[in-house]
Amino acid sequence: APPRWLRFSVPVRVPDGRPMLAIVIDDMGVDRRRSGRVMSLKGPLTLSFLTYADDLDRQTREAADAGHELMLHVAMAPRNERLDAGPNVLESGLDPTELRRRLAWGLARFGTFVGINNHMGSQFTADAEGMRVVMETLRDRGLLFLDSRTTADTVGARVAHEVGVPVVERNVFLDNVNTEKAVRARLDEAIAIARKRGYAVAIGHPRDATIAVLSDWLGRAADEGIAVVPVTAVVKR
């Protein structure tokens, strides 16, 4: 049987040589109203649902029915201890059994995702030992890893390669500055990377400015020669 990341991937046909842009929306499922607006955007987008959102079966079914690819947004410890990453956060210093238990809790929240990416995680993703435990679980379950790259010190991609987990890395955060002008500038940056490299991965959030910019641009992407693809298309390239 094909691995889960392939089984639940959204198939797309990309014309030869067309630059691919994967747009991932993190933090899905908690702000229900904005998450719903994201689902109604033209896709396929990749929607990453927080493990602690409510009613995940229904929300993720709705997102999949709308043609989007699904990921699980897993809380990992940030460097700033004052930030609350959420329940069952993966943190350095936990023994492997407890790490696996916390990860398994998240992975059991719904069934149809292609992989995970980190929510926060500037501390944990720099910890090779902890990340190896995570990658071994992902490998055993046939899932991919998207490194949100919340720190330059992340070892996510390196450990994924060592363990044999398909991995993609974020190139651009769309909405660190939450204004339409800033989001548009970051989107242009992601498009430029895609044209140069053949692909790019941009991460945004269910925020008004992000939704407005994407809603305006997604209908024109094809005319501009950009293929909007789910994250698995970048792995398959």
Instruction: Give the contacts of 112 (CB within 8 A, at least 6 positions apart).
Output: 8, 60, 64, 70
- Cα(191)–Cα(223) distance, integer angstroms: 13
Contact yes or no for 234/20 (Cβ under 8 A): yes
With a CB cutoff of 8 Å and minimum separation 6, the contacts of 158 are 128
Q: Is the pTM of this model over 0.85?
A: yes
Model pLDDT, residue 82: 87
Letter for the amino acid at 91?
E
Res 163: pLDDT? 99
In terms of CATH, what superfamily is 4-13+20-236? Glycoside hydrolase/deacetylase (3.20.20.370)
Q: Prior bond to 3 cis, omega within 30?
A: no
Q: Where are the domains of the chain?
A: 4-13+20-236
Provide the residue-wise pLDDT of the chain in tens; the chain has 237 residues: 899 999 999 999 999 899 999 999 999 999 999 999 999 999 999 999 999 999 999 999 999 999 999 999 999 999 998 899 999 999 999 999 999 999 999 999 999 999 999 999 999 999 999 999 999 999 999 999 999 999 999 999 999 999 999 999 999 999 999 999 999 999 999 999 999 999 999 999 999 999 999 999 999 999 999 999 999 999 999
